[in-house]
Chain A
């Protein structure tokens, strides 16, 4: 009988207050204390993993929230998981409390009503977010509507090994010319890796005279015509790539390893500070620098979202809020740590916090905000999906 009582106690579902109100922050804090938040985030970058571990220490200290980093190889795994839970009727206590997300994964989850919210704009630290200057209210043109909160800004930069490639390249055609003259010295992560598809989008945006057409969903009518320059460019570029385009690195960090191995001299990155952080971690030679294209490069925000069936939504909101705090943002921007751009409007911050940003050293391979130049908008996700599929048809199978 005793055992039975014990088992019953163990099996009893933890009563979850699913409808915690984000606007009542004190109630959120009270409820969050003691909760465990399972943050599903891509685990392939050791610098990011270290940062998340630090966030865990801090929220445990200040709010009594335990943060567990669930290291994903692919964010889509988390989406799949939440969907499977919904399918099985697990609406109260899902395995995932928070996801590092953006773009197509966000669009898919929002579409399928798999997200908790809206909550983002009720978080206390939202007040400092640079709503006007940064694309934090749309995600790949999809309106966010408070279903995810931003925590880092990203922008495409190119990493060059100045030992072999001294001068920055101004546009995609210059990259093509250089690659043709130096065959086998450039590659990009294989789509559907997000950095690989980002390179394709960047190429398209740069090749088009007027990329504004990309803000609208792709249609059967305009898709072929708009993307024609991209395929012409890739047809020329591919034979000049590393391994003649018969193999590609799987991810961004794998591509950095190729630079360190001396196999390539040019790589694409979605984080202006990544190169500096990688030099500090011995992952890149100190001859590495970064550059952007003359017309500018694509930028977007990284978000976190909370699944609709999280039993620790309060704890997740506390973490999401902490991620937007000046303290976390300064640390994320420190090139020795992550080198991610901040989502905050630094000029609007209290003097003390502003100074913390001002004293940050950029690092030897990081461009200043002025040097980063124009931030181009992300195309609508439909472009990325179709281009990714077509890339796989054209270059992803044996030729």
Chain B
């Protein structure tokens, strides 16, 4: 075997991902234990934690963080599993897949705004039926959005995570030999859904587990969705941390840093809890499989799953529809179902600004995502050629940037970049984006890449192909779909980054997301409509391509279309 492939890449990848995280965490750890020389405070002391635990809102904030995270993850996973189990391979599934996939690119903030405006007492749903059916001349005073239990926020997270998990599941399906397994199960008398759950799900879950963990960590520490849909008396912990961190009184950063460490501990705890749940479900599942039930309730359950999946797609689509209406709206008061007049004025006002931001967004996202893709493929290939295996503990390193709340290490990272004189401008922002883009790309691609049948490589080698030939002419083409999916995920992740762009760019780098979130704080729905639609478009195109290109390239290779 030639040694042309540099094993340097894995090291480089780890450095790009973990260096900033480690530096950032150090910058959080010190103030959490009372050491912040910039504010004239030196430690160590436990006062920050004492202050944190003295905050009256803490129990609720912690509870919100945990409950929204666990519920959002569990429910979105359930929906995805039921839909895939009950319908994969059918026409309904293809329709739903086409509906949901582009929704992945809808920025969280835009989706959240759409949802808020649908379900609020003065929202679109209420407007459609008022005053005709409801008799409401004025909206009722009901706490639906920003409810104390975080239900609206959980719903907002679910509608955004379902498309993500579905795409990841689709990418994994090709490696799970799903079709044959289900056919065999059906031949043995199992229903489609039960057969899929019993034969395919264990294999698929093994592959999608990392993204599921990421969803859990993300849902527990999300900021933008929580600000729009979540309660604010008190807010979830992540929002409160950002508030502490941005308090003009520097001493508050100590409390914020302590809160960030607590958030980290919560995420770790929730992941452990989830892992325990996996073990229990696996045990129960084995018993369920052995019991041999053929799944008489399948049609009903499958229909419920489809309805839930359809509903979650519909919510986002209607939300986008409302955004579109707002972007053209003149005055639009309650209870009118549509604005008084439609106008181009909003687009004239905000359009030029969105184009500038779009250019910046595109440059940053494409550089970050393709760098991440090259590093990832390099890593995985090196792993394959040199038979390197990340230990179980080593694998966790990959997840660190995604499992550690952004608020916990970004301010520290900013300080580090300043110290290197590398702050401000596009380059450092791309590097910061890489920290978040890399793991997503890696996680999206690693399992399909590893699950590739190495015997095919052996056959190719037997036919005279060198390692590079196997890689370029066999493996990568066969993995076209997961590769493009990973690239699209990377692009979407980069497009959606808010805190890294703002902090590392020193505010000088304006992407669609930083502009949209800044506008969101003002609540001008017309501007949010324009920016939200532009942002959606920016991430929509790559995902469309990720679906279209394999279908076109492999139009005469049926076996490769899902691989």
**Which residues on the A side are within 8 Å of B334 (C-beta)?**
261-263
Q: Closest A-chain residue to B231, C-beta based?
A: A247
Residues of B within 8 A of A94 (CB): 506
Contacts of A42 in B (CB 8 A): 521
- Asked if A376 lies at the interface with its beta carbon under 8 angstroms from chain B, I say no
B223: min CB distance to chain A, Å: 11
1/0 per residue, CB under 8 A from A, across B407-419: the answer is: 0000100110011
Bound-state Cα–Cα, A256 to B526, Å: 13
**Are B518 and A43 neighbours in the complex by a CB distance under 8 Å?**
yes
Measured in the bound complex, the distance between the Cα atoms of B428 and A95 in whole Å is: 13
CA distance A283 to B339 in the complex (A): 11
Cβ–Cβ contact A50 & B508, under 8 A: no
Chain A, 230-260, CB within 8 A of any chain B CB: 242-251, 253-254, 256-257, 260
Query: Which A80-107 residues have C-beta < 8 A from chain B?
Result: 80-81, 83-90, 94-96, 104-105
Contact A46-B233, Cβ < 8 Å, known A38-B507, A397-B60: no
B57 touches A285 (CB 8 A): no
Assembled-state Cα–Cα distance A77/B503 (Å): 9
> What separation, in Å, do the CA atoms of A225 and B331 have in the docked complex?
46
User: Nearest-CB distance from A111 to chain B (Å)?
Assistant: 10
- Indicate whether A46 sits within 8 Å of B139 (C-beta atoms), given known contacts A81-B506, A86-B38: no
Given contacts A43-B522, A250-B523, contact A282 B232 (CB under 8 A): no
Q: Report yes or no: A73 in contact with B517, Cβ–Cβ below 8 A.
A: yes
A397 touches B56 (CB 8 A): yes
Assess the B518–A398 pair: CB atoms within 8 A: no
**Does A71 sit within 8 A of B, measured CB to CB?**
yes
The contact of B234 among A83, A281, A398, by CB within 8 Å, is A398
B180 within 8 A of A: no
A50, B510: Cα distance in complex, Å = 16
**Interface stretch among B140-148, B443-451, B470-478?**
B140-148
Question: Are A260 and B333 within 8 A (Cβ)?
Answer: yes
Within the complex, the shortest CB–CB distance from A390 to chain B, in Å, comes to 11
Chain B residues, CB < 8 A from A30: none
A72 vs B330: C-alpha distance in the bound complex, in angstroms? Answer: 26
Chain B residues within an 8 Å CB radius of A242? 141
Q: What 0/1 pattern do residues 512 to 523 of B give for CB contact below 8 A with A?
A: 001101111111
Known A-B contacts A46-B349, A262-B138; the reply to A81 vs B507 at CB < 8 A is: yes
For chain B, the bracket of interface size reads 35 or more
Say whether, besides A108-B249, A254-B523, A398-B233, A260 and B508 are in contact (CB < 8 Å).
no
Is A395 an interface residue when CB atoms closer than 8 A count as contact?
yes
- B330: A residues at CB distance < 8 A: 282
B415 surroundings in chain A (CB, below 8 A) = 84, 87-88
Interface pair B234/A45, CB less than 8 Å apart: no
Cβ 8 A contact of A70, one of B243, B343, B507:
B507
> Which chain A residues (166-204) contact chain B, with CB distance < 8 Å?
183-184, 190, 192
Cβ contacts under 8 Å, A108 to chain B:
248-250
* A76 proximal to B (CB < 8 A): yes
Q: Which residue of B lies closest to A193 (CB)?
A: B521
CB B352 to nearest CB in A, in angstroms, measures 9
CA of A398 to CA of B518, assembled, Å: 27
| Interface contact B521-A44, CB-CB below 8 Å | yes
Taking the closest CB of chain B, its distance from the CB of A57, in whole angstroms, is 12
Tell me which residues across on chain B come within 8 A of A141, comparing CB atoms: none
**Cross-interface CB contact of A263 among B122, B525, B527, cutoff 8 Å:** B122
Residue B246 interfacial (CB < 8 Å): yes
- Chain A residue nearest in CB terms to B503: A81
**A262 touches which one: B139, B503, B526 (CB < 8 A)?**
B139
Pair A79/B518 contact, Cβ less than 8 Å: no
Asked if B506 and A95 sit within 8 Å, CB to CB, the answer is yes
Is A352's beta carbon under 8 Å from chain B? no
With A95-B506, A243-B141, A251-B521 as contacts: A192 and B243 at CB distance below 8 Å: yes
> Which residues of A have CB within 8 Å of B266?
none
Give bound CA distance, A76 to B245, whole Å.
9
Q: Report the minimum CB–CB distance from B236 to chain A (whole Å).
A: 12
B137 to chain A, nearest CB (A): 8
Q: How far is the CB of B67 from chain A (nearest CB, A)?
A: 14
B60 touches A71 (CB 8 A): no
Interface residues on A, range: 35 or more
CB-based nearest A residue for B420: A88
Complex Cα distance A50/B346, Å? 12
- In the complex, A79 Cα to B506 Cα: how many Å? 12
- A282 in contact with B507 given A105-B248, A247-B233, A261-B139 (CB within 8 Å): no
| B232 and A250 within 8 A (CB) | yes
Which residues on the B side are within 8 Å of A118 (C-beta)?
Answer: none
Set A190, A260, A393: member contacting B332, Cβ < 8 A: A260
Instruction: Assess whether A73 is in contact with B521, with CB atoms less than 8 Å apart.
Output: yes
The number of A-B residue pairs with CB atoms under 8 Å apart is 191
Asked if A89 and B419 sit within 8 Å, CB to CB, the answer is yes
CB atoms of B507 and A44 under 8 A apart:
no
Among residues of B, the one whose C-beta sits closest to the C-beta of A252 is B522
**Complex: A254 Cα to B231 Cα, angstroms:** 15
Contact of B506 (CB < 8 Å), options: A96, A249, A395 = A96
Tell me if A247 and B507 are in contact (CB < 8 A). no
Which listed residue, A50, A262, A385, A395, touches B249 by the CB 8 Å rule? Answer: A385
* A112: nearest chain-B partner, CB-CB: B250
Is B365 in the interface zone, CB < 8 Å from A? no
In chain A between 344 and 399, which residues have their CB closer than 8 angstroms to a CB of chain B? 385, 392-393, 395-399
Give the residues in chain B near A76, CB-CB below 8 Å.
246-248
**CA–CA, A283 to B331, complex, Å?**
6
Nearest B residue to A399, CB-CB: B233
Inter-chain contact B522/A46, CB cutoff 8 Å: yes
The answer, yes or no, to whether B227 is at the interface (CB within 8 Å) is yes
Task: Tell me, yes or no, whether B121 is within 8 Å of chain A by CB.
Answer: yes
Q: CA–CA, A80 to B245, complex, Å?
A: 8
For A285, the chain B residues whose CB sits under 8 A away are: 331, 333
Residue A216 interfacial (CB < 8 Å): no
Q: Mark B124-162, 1 if CB is under 8 A from A, else 0.
A: 000000000000001101110110100000000000000
CB distance from A267 to the nearest CB of B (A): 12
- In the assembled complex, which residues on chain B have CB atoms less than 8 Å from the CB atom of A113? none
Asked if B411 contacts A84 (CB within 8 A), the reply is: yes
CA distance A116 to B522 in the complex (A): 29
The answer, yes or no, to whether B524 is at the interface (CB within 8 Å) is yes
A40, CB-defined interface residue at 8 Å: yes
Q: Given A71-B510, A73-B517, A84-B411: A257 and B525 within 8 A (CB)?
A: yes
Asked if B533 is at the interface of the complex by the 8 Å CB criterion, the answer is: no
Q: Mark B85-112, 1 if CB is under 8 A from A, else 0.
A: 0000000000000000000000000000
Decide: A247 and B506 in contact? CB cutoff 8 A.
no
| B419, A88: Cβ atoms closer than 8 Å | yes
Establish whether residues B418 and A46, one from each chain, have CB atoms under 8 Å apart when the complex forms: no
B-facing residues in A6-52 (Cβ within 8 Å): 38, 40, 42-46, 50
- Whether a CB of chain A sits under 8 angstroms from the CB of B383 is no
| 10 additional contacts (CB under 8 A) given A89-B419, A398-B233, A399-B233 | A43-B522, A46-B349, A71-B519, A87-B418, A247-B146, A254-B523, A263-B138, A285-B331, A392-B57, A398-B60
A-B contact pairs, 10 of them (CB 8 A): A45-B524, A70-B510, A71-B507, A76-B247, A80-B411, A86-B38, A95-B508, A183-B141, A250-B227, A253-B523
- By Cβ-Cβ distance, the 9 closest A-B pairs, closest first, are A44-B522, A95-B506, A88-B418, A397-B57, A184-B141, A254-B523, A262-B334, A43-B518, A71-B518
Chain B contact residues, CB within 8 Å of chain A: 37-38, 55-57, 60, 120-122, 138-139, 141-143, 145-146, 148, 227, 231-234, 243, 245-250, 329-335, 343, 349-350, 411, 414-415, 418-419, 421, 423-424, 502-503, 506-508, 510, 514-515, 517-527
